[in-house]
Amino acid sequence: MGHNHGHDHTHGANKKTLLISFIIITGYMIVEAIGGFVTNSLALLSDAGHMLSDSISLGIALLAFTLGEKAANYSKTYGYKRFEILAAVLNGVTLVLIAIYIFYEAIQRFQNPPEVASTRMLIIASIGLLVNILVAWIMMRSGDVEENLNMRGAYLHVISDMLGSIGAIIAALLIIFFGWGWADPLASVIVAALVLRSGYNVTKSGLHVLMEGTPQNVNVEEVVQTIKNTKGIQGVHDLHIWSITSGLNSLSCHAVVDDQMSIAESEQMLRHIEHKLEHKNIHHMTIQLETSAHLHDDSILCKAKAESSGNHHHHHH
């Protein structure tokens, strides 16, 4: 199984990257939160809130990678790979809550802007920006931010974090030069909107996986055609495609073959299909072969089962 080796390699790199990023971000998040209280800046606090969500998502991703390595056993035949997705959903929900709190706080502040220690706010926000740039660079360089939902989520957090710091910097400058007190809650609202958006997206993609939705990087039509066009296959039905965790897609289906086909031939044919589906982002497939007695139904997806509400599944022995 050649493809697993590459997976493990990036896995190790991902983990190291996450650990470094987690330590840097968590450390600075604490600094920024304290700074927000001391300088009385909501923009800094909201940026710290954003960083908190960052650090949570990095922590969760780390935990997920660590748990994901735990071997499969009889009680969990997929191991703990799904934890990563549960964690992403949890993280998304946390973000949404943080955003709502910031919105609420900002409305209070628009009505009567408090005094903000703007010079100190500027310094803290600037360092925050540098910290984020550093972490984003580390992730870009050594992590797998394209494919892995977990890494990607963490990376996008860091990027939108930068915008939070930039917002706080601009707000501080406006307060210093023009004395515009409302710039601070305004910046925090913009950051909260970013937090809300990333929270919504992470939750949505996580729920999609939990609902056994078809992975975004798989084209069902192409996959079906690939199987159907294989020499020896007469029909395909009862097809399911789902993700176990990001970067691990599974397929199962029933395929109708000629009654005369030997097991050796069918195995060769299945290897051939497996190889082709690898290129279509299917990492694991299970195909049940049947004789042409099963050609009765044209539907690719399983229909009959749903209608009888699964009654004939319960054979009580």
Which one is predicted more confidently, 159 or 144? 159
223-237 burial by CB neighbour count: b if 16+ within 10 A, else e? Answer: beebbeebebbebbb
Residue 190 CB neighbours (<10 A): 20
Report how far residue 79's alpha carbon sits from residue 175's, in angstroms, rounded to the nearest whole number: 53
- Give 297's pLDDT tier (boundaries 50, 70, 90): low
Alpha-carbon distance 301 to 109, whole Å? 55
- Yes or no: say if 243 and 205 are a contact pair by the CB < 8 Å rule: no
Mean pLDDT of 208-222: 89
Output the six-digit token pair for 87: 């964690």
The three-class DSSP label of residue 238 is strand
Q: Which structure tokens are listed for 264?
A: 């050796």
Strand, coil or helix: 246: coil
Q: Which of 7, 20, 32 lies closest to 136, judged by CA?
A: 20
Question: Using one digit for the tens of pLDDT, what is the confidence trace for 258-296?
Answer: 888 898 999 999 999 999 999 998 999 999 999 887 666
How does residue 82 score in pLDDT terms, banded at 50, 70 and 90?
Answer: confident
pLDDT at residue 111, rounded to an integer: 85
**Domain boundaries for CATH 1.20.1510.10 within the chain:** 2-210
pLDDT at 304: 53
**What is the separation of C-alpha 317 from the centre of its chain, rounded to a whole number of angstroms?**
41
What was the pLDDT predicted at 303? 64
Sheet holding 233-245, edge to edge: 233-245, 248-257, 284-290
* CA 252/CA 227 separation, integer angstroms: 12
User: Given a cut of 80, is residue 227 above it in pLDDT?
Assistant: yes
pLDDT digits (tens, 9 = 90+) for 235-267: 898 999 999 877 789 999 999 998 888 989 999
Sign of the CA dihedral with 57 first, then 63, 69, and 73 last: negative
- The model's confidence at residue 150, banded by pLDDT at 50, 70 and 90, is low
* Confidence (pLDDT) at 9: 57
What is the phi/psi pair of residue 235, to 5°? -170, 160
Q: What is the chain's length?
A: 317
pLDDT of residue 116: 85
**Is residue 316 pLDDT above 70, yes or no?**
no
What is the residue whose two structure tokens read 């964690």? 87
For CATH 3.30.70.1350, list the domain ranges present in the chain.
220-313
Record the tokens describing residue 59, joined without a space. 């922590």
Label residue 309 by pLDDT band (50, 70, 90): very low
Within 8 A by CB and 6+ apart from 65, the residues are 11, 14, 15, 18, 84, 150
The CATH number assigned to the domain with range 220-313 reads 3.30.70.1350
Q: Is the pLDDT of residue 67 over 50?
A: yes
- Note whether 260 and 268 are within 8 A (CB): no
The architecture CATH gives domain 2-210: Up-down Bundle (1.20)
CB 223 within 8 A of CB 118: no
